[in-house]
Amino acid sequence: MRAGRGTPELLPLRVRAKKQQRDAVRYRRAPFVISYWRTDQLVFENFLERRRITANPLTSTVLHFFDRWRPLRELFTALQEYTPASLRNAVRSLARHSFLQRHGQGPVSGEKELLAWSQWSPAASFFHLATKDVEFQPDSDEEYRELLQLAKSNPMPGPVKLYPKAPHIRLPSPKADSEFPRVLLARRTWRKFSKQPIALPVLGDLLGLTWGVQAWVKTPQIGAAAVKTSPSGGALHPVEAYVLARNIEGLRAGLYHYNAADHRLELLRRGAASRDITRYLANQWWYASASFVVFMTAVFSRTQWKYDYARAYRAVLLEAGHLCQTFCLTATWLNLAPFCTLAFADSQIEKALGVDGISESVLYVAGAGMRPENDDQAHLLSGSEISGLNL
C-alpha cells in the first residue's frame, strides 16, 4: 500500500533529508562586524547594517569559524561538545541579526561601496556609519529644560584653559582697524533672516570664493590638482557643494549641484520650500526662512586614492570645517546672515541628492539669508536654540 503524506514510515526519511539539506547550506561571517566590551557585556556590531547584539564569547568562536564560506555541518565537527540542534539555533540567530551571511542571499545594500573603504576599516568606516542619523530631540523647549537640569547636576566645562601659576607675558591687543579683522569679529551664526531675496551674483560670489577652483596645478604623469581658497590634504578636495535654493533672485527654487570647475549650478530637482529646510535640518525651525542652504558632501575615493590609512578620514572632516569657516566669513563680508549646523537628517538629505551615504556622504550643512532689518540681536541664541549642534 502506498504511504500517504503523513504516514509514519516516510516521515523520518523526509526529516532527515531536510536536515541534511539545511546543514549543507553555507555561511560566511559578515565583513563589517566588530566586537567590544561594554562594562560586563560583550557587544557584537555590524556597523554597515547598524545592528548590535550582546552575546557570550562562544559567539566569537562561531563567527571566526565562518571566516569563509563553509557548510553548517562542518561546524558540528569543529564544536562536538555542543549538540547540532543548539549550533543550528545559534547560526540561525546570527544570520537573522545580520552577523552571518547565507550563501545565495545576495549582497547587502552598501556592501560593495564599503569594501572600497578596506584600508580605512574598521576605524573610520565604523565611526562614519555609527554617527549617522542621530535622533535629535524634536521638542527644542524640552531639550533646553533637560540641558538646564544637566547644568545643575554637572556644570558646563569652562571654555578656556588657564595656567594661573605659570609666568605670563601680556600681549598687545590685536589690530582690528582694517576690513579683514572687522569681518572676523562680525562673524556670527544667525537664526533670523529678512524676507528679501539674495541676488544671484551675490550667491555666485559666495560659492565661487568658497568652493570654486581658482587655478589648476599640473603634476607630470599624475594629473591636475585644483587650487581653492581653503586647504585640502594632498590637494585632493573631496568636498562637493549642493545648494537648496529657496529665495534667490533670478534663480528658480530647487536643488542644485555647484560645479566648482566651471562655476555654474546644475539643476537636480525643481522646488524648495521652508518645510524642506526644517525637515532636512532636524526640525530646527529657526532656519526655515533662510534663502538657501548648502549640503557639503565628501567623495571619499579622492582622499582614499592617496591615503590608505584611517587617519585620513580626519582630514576629510577638517576640510569640511575649513570650507565652512571660509563660507561664513565670505558671507559676513557680503553682508549676509550665515549659519552652520551639524544637526541634520543624513539619510534624507542623501536620498534627495541621490548619493549612497558611503562612497559619497553628507558631512556638514551651512546656509544664509539676508540680514533682518533693525534686529541686531538676531544672531543670539534663545533658550530653545542653544541645545542644537550649532557652531
What is the domain-level CATH number for residue 361? 3.40.109.10
Q: Which three cell numbers stand for residue 132?
A: 549617522
pLDDT of residue 379 exceeding 70, the answer is no
Say if 156 falls within a structural domain.
Answer: no
Same domain, 197 and 336: yes
DSSP class of residue 147? Answer: H
pLDDT band at 139 (very low <50, low <70, confident <90, very high): confident
- 320 in a structural domain: yes
Kindly state whether residues 91 and 191 are assigned to the same domain.
Answer: no
E-assigned strand segments in the chain: 26-29, 33-38, 41-46, 51-54, 70-71, 100-102, 198-199, 215-219, 223-227, 239-245, 248-249, 254-259, 264-270, 292-299, 336-341, 360-370
What's the CA gap between 40 and 97, in Å, rounded?
21
pLDDT greater than 60 at residue 6? no
Nearest CA to 367 among 333, 327, 319, 335? 327
Q: Are residues 104 and 129 in the same domain?
A: no
pLDDT beyond 90 at 119: yes
- H runs (alpha helix) in 106-255: 111-115, 123-130, 140-153, 179-186, 200-210
Q: The domain that contains 102 carries what CATH number? A: 3.90.930
Please give the average per-residue pLDDT across 189-194, as a whole number: 97
**230 and 97 in one domain?**
no
pLDDT digits (tens, 9 = 90+) for 205-248: 999 999 999 999 998 889 999 999 999 999 999 999 999 999 99
Rounded to whole angstroms, the Cα distance separating 205 from 331 reads: 9
**Same domain membership, residue 367 and residue 221:** yes
Residue 143 lies in a domain: no
Same domain for 203 and 352: yes
Q: Check whether 275 has a pLDDT greater than 60.
A: yes
Whether 270 and 353 share a structural domain: yes
Beta strands at 292-299 and 360-370: parallel, antiparallel or unpaired:
antiparallel
Helix, strand, coil percentages, rounded to 5, for the chain: 35, 20, 45
- Residues 45-63: pLDDT tens digits? 999 999 999 999 999 999 9
pLDDT of residue 5: 44
Domain containing 31 equals: 12-108
User: 308 and 372 share a domain?
Assistant: yes
pLDDT of 376? 62
Which residue among 69, 93, 108 closes a domain?
A: 108
**211 plus 280 within the same structural domain:** yes
- Residue 172 inside a domain? The answer is no
Q: Is residue 174 part of a domain?
A: no
User: Is residue 34 located within the same domain as residue 117?
Assistant: no
Domain boundary pick from 89, 108, 127: 108
Does residue 151 fall inside a structural domain? no
- Please say which residue of 88, 108, 128 terminates a domain: 108
Q: Are residues 291 and 335 in the same domain?
A: yes
144 pLDDT band, cuts 50/70/90, is confident
Q: How far, CA to CA in Å, does 238 sit from each of 171, 318, 345? A: 39, 11, 21
Q: How confident is the model at residue 300 (pLDDT cuts 50, 70, 90)?
A: very high
Predicted confidence at residue 384, as pLDDT, reads 46
pLDDT band for position 1 (cuts 50, 70, 90): very low
Q: Could you identify the residue written with the cell 547644568?
A: 151
The Cα–Cα gap between 233 and 222 comes to 16
pLDDT at 74 over 50: yes
CA-wise closest residue to 386 among 133, 145, 134, 131:
145
| Residues 97, 191 within the same domain | no
Whether residue 371 is contained in a domain is answered as yes
> What cell does 315 get?
582630514
The model's confidence at residue 369, banded by pLDDT at 50, 70 and 90, is: very high
Q: Tell me how far apart the alpha carbons of residues 153 and 331 are, in angstroms, rounded to a whole number.
A: 39
Total of domains in the chain: 2
CA 233 to chain centre: 19
